[in-house]
């Protein structure tokens, strides 16, 4: 009887009465939320020299400072899965984003290593859940037929963070010190919060389905569904190969390919600018030709730059930038139809809990992939990187499995009816 009730809760709801203009503003506000918390996460790494010198930190202490955010995000994602579907989406977004802004401001005002560590943990707690909640709102409010395009808009925030957010933050840090970027991000959060208050619709249609049973039962229901585990597997496969390659691009290109440290930003600037445009293109193609088909095509094409990059000899800088740009275009491109598919894996009443668990597991998969990539490479006596090609073969193998695996996913295309 309980299983029958669960399937009744999954029945499709009518499409949301949202005009395209309101939908556009909704997506832009969600992209702005994504942009701020992605910049907050990314900017910590290049601030390493300033922070280690100021606080007299060892490499291990700074590494802990960086990883504290991801670890806190993973834990908070799992805990949020117990209760997130018991709150109306807009209210949850506004509360979490306000908490994130305060935590980020605390990072900028932190006077000691210990206080900065505490603030980074708090930022991770709020930021980790925010990412999953933004994707949940897209899945709740945007019809499946347009969800690829919607994910393309929201995920362009990653490109904007790379192209504009991090460089601007580093410039500000050079002018006023390491505190500046965090204070600036917190200030930017204020108008973003106000816009979200105005344009994000109330989404409470999932509450009826989430009300029955305890919070623990909601998590158990999410974890007991075989289709959800197929989706979690797809999510892990999307990062397995690529994140064994990405952390070591700078090391390999500067050590083996002769790229100077001054030329490294060219790789990320070109890749960020290109993906800023292609993310929306992939979303449009996914909506037009089918998300599974486009996901498979982009994934297979992505193997080409992954294999070339990981086996590349010394080449002119222009050739290297072309290859790395293609790498970012297609590797990040998989995520657009991929995340649209993941939002359709759970029924609306479980979407928040599902995306929270998925975010936590995906963070773990990223960490595992980065560790695995490090285990596959080594150094020669003269300091060159060897074994990087193994990460390419790992990416090839995981891609082939992923292309087959995505066909196993069962999709629920229901959306909520927002209150505008």
Residue 119, pLDDT score:
94
Residue 351, pLDDT score:
79
Residue 127, pLDDT score:
86
Q: How confident is the model at residue 15 (pLDDT cuts 50, 70, 90)?
A: very low
**Positive or negative torsion for Cα 390, 394, 397, 400:** negative
As a whole number, the mean pLDDT across the chain is 82
Unique residue bearing structure tokens 């996913």: 409
Determine if residue 177 is left, alpha or beta; phi over 0 gives left, psi from -120 to 50 gives alpha, anything else beta.
left
- List strand residue ranges (DSSP E) for 74-203, in order: none
- 9 falls within a domain: no
- 188 falls within a domain: yes
- 417 falls within a domain: no
Total domains in the chain come to: 1
CA distance 37 to 157: 10
pLDDT digits (tens, 9 = 90+) for 48-102: 767 777 888 775 677 677 777 877 887 888 787 777 777 888 899 999 999 999 9
Q: Coil, strand, or helix at residue 378?
A: strand
Residue 304, pLDDT score:
96
- 76 falls within a domain: yes
Q: Kindly report the CA angle at 70 between 68 and 74, in degrees rounded to 5? A: 115
Residue 415, pLDDT score:
54
Q: How confident is the model at residue 213 (pLDDT cuts 50, 70, 90)?
A: low
Instruction: Output 209 or 122, whichever has higher pLDDT.
Output: 122
- 25 falls within a domain: yes
Residue 93, pLDDT score:
92
- 3 falls within a domain: no
- The residues, ordered by sequence, that sit 6+ positions from 211 with a Cβ below 8 Å of its Cβ are 86
pLDDT digits (tens, 9 = 90+) for 330-374: 998 898 899 888 888 888 778 777 887 887 787 777 767 877 887
Q: Coil, strand, or helix at residue 115?
A: helix
Instruction: Output 73 or 417, whichever has higher pLDDT.
Output: 73
- 8 falls within a domain: no
Instruction: Output 342 or 20, whichever has higher pLDDT.
Output: 342
The DSSP secondary structure of 224-250, one letter per residue, reads: H-HHHHHHHHHHHHHHHTHHHHGGGHH
pTM above 0.75, yes or no: no
User: Which residue segment(s) compose the domain that 379 sits in?
Assistant: 19-408
% of the chain surpassing 90 pLDDT: 28
CATH number at residue 34: 1.20.1250.20
Q: With 0-12 CB in 10 A as exposed, 13-18 as middle and 19+ as buried, what is 53?
A: exposed
Q: How confident is the model at residue 210 (pLDDT cuts 50, 70, 90)?
A: low
Contact 203, 140 (CB under 8 A): yes
- Mean predicted confidence (pLDDT) in 291-309: 95
Q: Which of 264, 262, 242, 243 is nearest to 252 (CA)?
A: 264
- Mean predicted confidence (pLDDT) in 283-289: 89
- 419 falls within a domain: no
């Amino acid at each position: 009887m309980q299983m029958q009730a669960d399937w009744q809760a999954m029945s499709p709801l009518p499409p949301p009465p949202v005009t395209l203009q309101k939908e556009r503003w909704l997506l832009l506000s969600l992209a702005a939320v994504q942009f701020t918390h992605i910049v907050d996460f990314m900017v910590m790494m290049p601030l390493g020299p300033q922070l280690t010198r100021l606080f007299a930190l060892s490499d291990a202490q700074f590494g802990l400072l960086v990883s504290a955010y991801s670890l806190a995000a993973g834990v908070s994602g799992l805990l949020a899965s117990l209760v997130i579907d018991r709150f109306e989406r807009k209210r949850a977004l506004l509360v979490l984003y306000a908490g994130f802004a305060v935590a980020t401001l605390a990072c900028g005002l932190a006077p000691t290593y210990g206080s900065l560590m505490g603030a980074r943990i708090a930022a991770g707690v709020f930021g980790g859940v925010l990412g999953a909640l933004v994707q949940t709102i897209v899945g709740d409010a945007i019809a499946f037929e347009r969800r690829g395009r919607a994910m393309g808009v929201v995920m362009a925030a990653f490109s904007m963070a790379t192209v504009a957010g991090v460089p601007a933050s580093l410039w500000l840090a050079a002018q006023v010190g390491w505190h500046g970027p965090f204070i600036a991000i917190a200030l930017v959060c204020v108008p973003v919060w106000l816009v979200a208050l105005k344009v994000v619709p109330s989404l409470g249609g999932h509450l009826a389905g989430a009300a029955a049973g305890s919070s623990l039962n909601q998590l158990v229901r999410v974890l007991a569904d075989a289709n959800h585990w197929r989706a979690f597997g797809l999510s892990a496969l999307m990062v397995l190969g690529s994140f064994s390659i990405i952390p070591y691009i700078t090391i390999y290109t500067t050590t083996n390919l002769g790229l100077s440290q001054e030329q490294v930003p060219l790789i990320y600037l070109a890749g960020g600018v290109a993906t800023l445009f292609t993310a929306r293109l992939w979303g449009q193609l996914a909506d037009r030709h089918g998300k599974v088909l486009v996901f498979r095509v982009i994934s297979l094409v992505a193997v080409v730059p992954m294999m070339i990059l990981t086996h590349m000899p010394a080449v002119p800088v222009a050739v290297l930038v072309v290859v790395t740009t293609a790498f970012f275009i297609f590797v990040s491109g998989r995520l657009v139809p991929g995340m649209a598919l993941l939002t359709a894996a759970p029924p609306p009443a479980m979407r928040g809990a599902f995306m929270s668990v998925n975010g936590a597991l995906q963070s773990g998969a990223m960490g595992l992939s980065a560790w695995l990539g490090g285990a596959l490479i080594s150094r020669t006596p003269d300091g060159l990187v060897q074994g990087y090609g193994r990460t390419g073969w790992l990416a090839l193998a995981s891609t082939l499995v992923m292309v087959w695996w995505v066909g196993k996913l069962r999709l629920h295309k229901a959306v909520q009816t927002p209150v505008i």
